[in-house]
Amino acid sequence: MALSFFSKSHQGVLARCRDDYATKMRLKYAPYYHAMESQHGTIVQLDGREMIMLSSNDYLGLTFHPKVIAAGQAAMLKWGTSTTGARISNGSRAYHVELEERLAAFLGTEACHVHAAGYLSCMAATSTFAQKGDVVFADKNIHSCLWDGLRLSLATVERFSHNNPDELRAVIAATHSSAAKLLVLEGVYSMEGHVARLREFAEIAAENGCFTVLDDAHGFGVLGRQGRGTVDHFGLNGKIDLICGSMSKSLASTGGFVAASREVIEYLRSHSKQTIFSAAVSPSQAACAQASLEVMQTEPEHLERLWANTRKYRAILKNLRLDTWESETPAVPIVLGSKERAFLFWRALREKGVFTVLSIAPAVPPGKDLIRTAVSASHTDAQLDLVGEAMAYALKKL
Ligand SMILES: Cc1ncc(COP(=O)(O)O)c(C=O)c1O
């Protein structure tokens, strides 16, 4: 009986994989998982052709910075390729502690913990601090990793409409509960390019005793003094309980961080499964992030260039009357409104040598099918002009 049950469910999963509609469509139209043959800065080679990368999160353009590359190489020579263990057991090294201290100092928090992926950090930020019986108020457009953490936490989740403090107030007022409360937001929403209305949200959180979790994966390096992020941009330093984020964007590495007071970080180290049971950040990963953090503080030209490029790019798109969903940051969606239009636009850009990412419902709200683009400090003026020409061509293909 057990055997027949096992073989039946095994067959069921295989059939599910074979018949899956989303997978069939992905393989048919092939918009994802393109393996580029080479890269230098914003130029990648795909299918033998050079293309301008217009959708990476290398906001400050540091992935090819000589100091960042040298730091990664040196760390690997000194520490080997991996610690092959979790921080709690055999995987802690002096370079982890140093990176955490530097990140905490930069963000103005007492402490910090780094993980091998931003996804782990942000998932830990919600799963660890919310628990069954708590009420979590969450912007409905937060990233998948925050939702995953919330699901694991078993807390009650109340969503409010995107970036809408008035609705948050109404949802809190309608929730008659003396339970512990959390508020979960992003600093910059990566798909929309919107900056959180953090001043209002912080006020509501303070009035209602909410523990606030802010995922600043796309605000870090982009907003605030020297790229300190969304909290610093609004002058709210010390007013947000926890900032989490990724090292795979402005920090030109991989990994993530959770920054908060010492007692919050020590609690994370005791209770977060993602922290306890996952291997530590590798030497080169940590060294690249730390070198980028230093470049952010000593070479302001990258942040300046990022914003100059963002202004130029936005002017190009405005001229073409493209709908950018009121993006305020270097992450700029181009909303096409249907899967078909988004696909045609994406394909025409590709034909013209511009690499972007197609994002369609249910990954975005219905009617908001879009291509996601992002500006980097390392785009040249000439590249942005070429992008403009490609966009004009793609528009004619709709
Ligand atoms: C808002 C947000 N949080 C977290 C992550 C996860 O970061 P990572 O890609 O470093 O795992 C991402 C990545 O896309 C993100 O956009």
> Domains of the chain: which residue ranges?
35-59+300-396, 66-298
For residue 244, the CA-to-ligand 1 centroid distance in Å is 10
For residue 178, the CA-to-ligand 1 centroid distance in Å is 32
Structure tokens at 317: 């798109």
Position 300 scores a pLDDT of 98
Residue corresponding to tokens 């995922």: 215
Q: How far apart are CA 273 and CA 152, in angstroms?
A: 10
Nearest atom in ligand 1 to the alpha carbon of residue 256 is 10
Position 275 scores a pLDDT of 98
Is the C-alpha dihedral spanning 186, 192, 198, 202 positive or negative? negative
Residue 7 pLDDT > 80: no
Q: Ligand 1, residues 58, 143, 194: which to mutate, most atoms within 8 A of Cβ?
A: 143
pLDDT digits (tens, 9 = 90+) for 273-330: 999 999 999 999 999 999 999 999 999 999 999 999 999 999 999 999 999 999 999 9
Q: How many CA atoms lie within 13 A of 373 on its CB side?
A: 34
Compute how many other C-beta atoms are within 10 angstroms of the C-beta atom of residue 13: 9
Residue 167 pLDDT > 60: yes
Domain covering 66-298: architecture: 3-Layer(aba) Sandwich (3.40)
What is the separation of C-alpha 310 from the centre of its chain, rounded to a whole number of angstroms?
Answer: 18
Nearest residue (CA) to ligand 1, atom 3: 217
Residue 20 pLDDT > 70: yes
Give the residue among 355, 366, 107 at the shortest CA–CA distance from 225. 107
Q: Ligand 1, residues 140, 248, 253: which to mutate, most atoms within 8 A of Cβ?
A: 248
In the chain, pLDDT over 70 holds for what percent of residues?
Answer: 97
pTM of the model: 0.95
Nearest atom in ligand 1 to the alpha carbon of residue 186 is 1
Least confident of 20-29, 240-249, 360-369, 380-389: 360-369
Lining ligand 1 with CB less than 6 A are 117-119, 122, 143, 145, 186, 190, 215, 217-218, 246, 248, 256
What is the separation of C-alpha 131 from the centre of its chain, rounded to a whole number of angstroms?
Answer: 24
Position 9 scores a pLDDT of 56
Same fold, 35-59+300-396 and 66-298: no
The mean pLDDT value of the chain amounts to 95
Position 362 scores a pLDDT of 83
Cα–Cα distance list, 79 to 82, 93, 286 (Å)? 8, 9, 11
Least confident of 113-122, 152-161, 236-245, 365-374: 365-374
Could you tell me if 161 and 197 are in contact, meaning their C-beta atoms sit under 8 angstroms apart? Answer: no
pLDDT digits (tens, 9 = 90+) for 188-246: 999 999 999 999 999 999 999 999 999 999 999 999 999 999 999 999 999 999 999 99
Residue 35 pLDDT > 70: yes
- Surface-to-core class of residue 27, CB atoms within 10 Å of its CB (0-12 exposed, 13-18 middle, 19+ buried): exposed
**What is the fold of 35-59+300-396?**
Aspartate Aminotransferase, domain 1 (3.90.1150)
Q: Per-residue confidence at 363, pLDDT binned at 50, 70, 90?
A: confident
For residue 253, the CA-to-ligand 1 centroid distance in Å is 12
Give the residue among 364, 304, 362 at the shortest CA–CA distance from 334. 364
For residue 141, the CA-to-ligand 1 centroid distance in Å is 13
For residue 358, the CA-to-ligand 1 centroid distance in Å is 17
Whether a cis peptide bond, with omega within 30° of 0, leads into 362 is: yes
Residue 56 pLDDT > 60: yes
Position 3 scores a pLDDT of 44
Residue 5 pLDDT > 70: no
Position 364 scores a pLDDT of 87
Nearest residue (CA) to ligand 1, atom 15: 217
For residue 121, the CA-to-ligand 1 centroid distance in Å is 9
For residue 233, the CA-to-ligand 1 centroid distance in Å is 20
Position 160 scores a pLDDT of 98
For residue 11, the CA-to-ligand 1 centroid distance in Å is 34
